[in-house]
């Protein structure tokens, strides 16, 4: 099944990128969701067997069960005719759930990577960018309580922050399991099998490391921290704010020790002992 086979934009001239951008900012109570017409009858390819088996697996996690139910729902001619897309921050502000769901549903050692990808990879660095505004503001200094709309927005922000924290913690543990699973898969291959999947001549099966870094305004040095913290959340930004944001992000990223280690490793430093057969 491909995404192109199973959906078409309501507006024929609206580009897929524009759909995604509009949906990503469709905050409930502020903007209407982006509406897409579904065409499940165009999905001719069968659902993968690995997914169908999970329907009756009593050991499947709740995340997996709900993901499988969603996949089934997209194919249900009697139930789903439209999708309404809203800001993904409500459930996954860091965008990590796709990787977690893919690993849980596909259930192969390297998923969502292919075996060839798993053999060829050496280093993977994931940088989570936290652009959220921190709690506080002038309202905390006033006796009068917030309006109903403000309460709804505060509640939405709290829900986004809570789900983001949980997703980040879950991803940190999943990343270590993913790395170990890839190493076990690689080291279980014969040299011939590894070469057939694209391993180089000096390939070392245990030479794999996945790392995780966080980038946020709070971690920036001055003057970037004060400058970016003062930019309000809005739909438009002037050129100076855009330039400051780009430069602050670049400077902050280059200071991440995980990125420094990654770049140093790209220059040939640090190789693991060969444990392949």
d(CA 208, CA 118) in angstroms, rounded, equals 9
d(CA 17, CA 25) in angstroms, rounded, equals 13
Tens-of-pLDDT digits for all 277 residues of the chain?
Answer: 344 444 444 444 456 777 778 888 887 777 888 888 888 888 878 887 777 788 888 888 887 888 888 888 888 878 777 888 888 777 788 888 888 888 888 878 898 999 999 999 999 999 999 877 665 555 566 666 667 667 766 777 777 777 788 888 889 989 999 999 999 999 999 999 999 999 987 899 999 999 999 999 988 999 999 999 888 877 788 999 999 999 999 999 999 999 999 999 887 754 443 333 3
pTM, two decimal places: 0.74
DSSP 3-state of 125: strand
Q: How many CB atoms lie within 10 A of CB 20?
A: 12
DSSP 3-state of 168: helix
Instruction: Residue 132: name the closest of 244, 216, 222 by CA.
Output: 216
Own/partner contacts of 179-184, CB < 8 Å, gap of 24 or more, are 179/208, 179/209, 179/210, 181/109, 181/110, 182/109, 182/110, 182/113, 182/118, 182/121, 182/208, 183/208, 184/109
């Amino acid at each position: 099944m491909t995404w192109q086979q199973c959906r078409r934009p309501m507006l024929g001239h609206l580009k897929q990128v524009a759909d995604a951008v509009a949906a990503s900012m469709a905050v409930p109570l502020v903007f209407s969701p982006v509406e897409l017409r579904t065409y499940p009858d165009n999905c001719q390819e069968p659902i993968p067997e690995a997914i169908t088996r999970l329907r009756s697996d009593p050991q499947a996690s709740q995340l997996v069960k709900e993901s499988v139910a969603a996949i089934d729902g997209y194919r249900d001619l009697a139930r789903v005719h439209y999708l309404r897309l809203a800001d993904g921050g409500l459930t996954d502000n860091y965008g990590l759930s796709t990787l977690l769901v893919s690993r849980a549903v596909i259930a192969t050692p390297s998923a969502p990577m292919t075996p060839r990808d798993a053999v060829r990879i050496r280093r993977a660095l994931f940088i989570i960018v936290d652009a959220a505004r921190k709690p506080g503001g002038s309202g905390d200094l006033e006796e009068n309580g917030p309006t109903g709309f403000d309460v709804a927005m505060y509640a939405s922000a709290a829900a986004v922050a809570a789900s983001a924290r949980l997703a980040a913690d879950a991803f940190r543990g999943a990343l270590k399991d993913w790395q170990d699973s890839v190493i076990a898969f690689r080291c279980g291959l014969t040299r011939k099998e590894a070469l057939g999947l694209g391993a180089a001549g000096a390939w070392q099966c245990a030479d794999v490391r996945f790392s995780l870094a966080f980038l946020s305004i709070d971690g920036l040095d001055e003057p970037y921290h004060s400058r970016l913290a003062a930019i309000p959340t809005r739909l438009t930004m002037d050129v100076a704010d855009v330039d400051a944001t780009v430069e602050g992000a670049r400077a902050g990223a280059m200071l991440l020790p995980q990125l420094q280690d990654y770049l140093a490793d790209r220059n040939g430093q640090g190789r693991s002992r060969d444990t392949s057969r």
